[in-house]
């Protein structure tokens, strides 16, 4: 069995090194620390809920994305981002869904000189930035084209967004910009999805280890440490 550490993968002593099993650690029930406040976009979006659209989603389920519109989410994110920089306060924004949000964050991290040209990715000490973010695992699992089949099963807040936003989340996990994946209720379905991402190398094992635990700890967040075994 091989354990995933922050920057390496090592065989666990007295285990079979050929058993093709990764041992990950992840944080459960993440909470704010004295150094960084957690802010949930879903709570702020709820105040802007467009309930009138709900009348139309039985015929057009993809319209659910507009119940909590991308425009409103981006406005909320931008306001939080600019306020944190203006007041020099550290925040962690949970449940970002939009490519525009992550591009804004990418530009900020470039200004902090975290971009490494040799690997075409970011090497971020997450204790330093004033703004860090997590995405919700549902926004990785699902995309806008799934509304037709899944309907109310994926009516989340924040909503599932279009395919381009889904792809952007994967891209910026791999590029090192997104600090964490918010698991909240880590069901067997979600565990299987994380396993699939590792097995199919949609997210490499070292990157997965970072977004499940190590980046979040670097950002000053705390939670219960749990283990996840993935056979690859």
Look at residue 121 and give its three-state secondary structure: strand
Say whether domain 2-231 belongs to CATH 3.20.20.140: yes
Give the domain ranges of the chain.
2-231
Which among 154, 158, 157 is positioned nearest to 145, based on CA atoms?
A: 154
Tell me the HSE value of 30 on the side-chain side, using a 13 A CA sphere: 31
Interval 30-55: pLDDT, tens: 988 778 999 999 999 999 999 999 99
Per-residue confidence band for 15, with pLDDT thresholds at 50, 70 and 90? confident
Backbone angles phi, psi at 149, to 5 degrees: -85, -40
Q: What is the mean pLDDT of the chain?
A: 95
Interval 111-156: pLDDT, tens: 999 999 998 899 999 999 999 999 999 999 999 999 999 999 999 9
E strands, 17-152, are 21-31, 37-40, 91-96, 115-116, 121-122, 131-136
Q: How far apart are the first and last CA of the chain?
A: 11
**81-118 per-residue burial string, b: 16 or more CB within 10 A, e: under 16:** beebeeeeebbbbbbbbbbbbbebbbebbeeeebbeee
Asked whether 183 and 190 are in contact (CB, 8 A), the reply is: yes
Per-residue confidence band for 188, with pLDDT thresholds at 50, 70 and 90? very high
Counting residues of the chain whose pLDDT is more than 90, the rounded percentage is 91
Please report the pLDDT score of residue 167 as a whole number: 97
Please report the pLDDT score of residue 14 as a whole number: 86
Token duo for residue 81:
């981002």
Please report the pLDDT score of residue 179 as a whole number: 98
């Amino acid at each position: 069995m091989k354990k995933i550490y922050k920057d390496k993968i090592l065989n666990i002593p007295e285990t079979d090194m050929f058993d093709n099993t990764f041992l990950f650690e992840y944080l459960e029930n993440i909470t704010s620390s004295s150094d960084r406040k957690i802010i949930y976009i879903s709570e702020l979006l709820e105040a802007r809920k467009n309930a009138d659209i709900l009348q139309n989603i039985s015929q057009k389920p993809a319209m659910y994305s507009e119940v909590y519109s991308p425009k409103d989410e981006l406005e909320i994110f931008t306001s939080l981002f600019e306020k944190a920089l203006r007041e020099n306060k550290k925040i962690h924004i949970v449940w970002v869904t939009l490519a525009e949000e992550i591009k804004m964050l990418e530009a900020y991290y470039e200004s902090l000189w975290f971009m490494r040209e040799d690997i075409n990715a970011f090497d971020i000490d997450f204790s330093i930035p004033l703004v860090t973010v997590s995405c919700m695992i549902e926004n990785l699992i699902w995309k806008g084209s799934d509304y037709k089949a899944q309907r109310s099963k994926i009516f989340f807040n924040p909503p599932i967004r279009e395919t381009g936003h889904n792809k952007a989340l994967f891209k910026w996990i791999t590029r090192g910009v997104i600090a964490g994946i918010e698991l909240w209720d880590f069901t067997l379905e979600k565990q299987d999805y994380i396993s699939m991402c590792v097995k199919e190398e949609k997210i490499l094992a070292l990157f997965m280890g970072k977004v499940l635990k190590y980046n979040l700890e670097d950002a000053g967040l705390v939670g219960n440490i749990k283990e996840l075994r993935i056979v690859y």
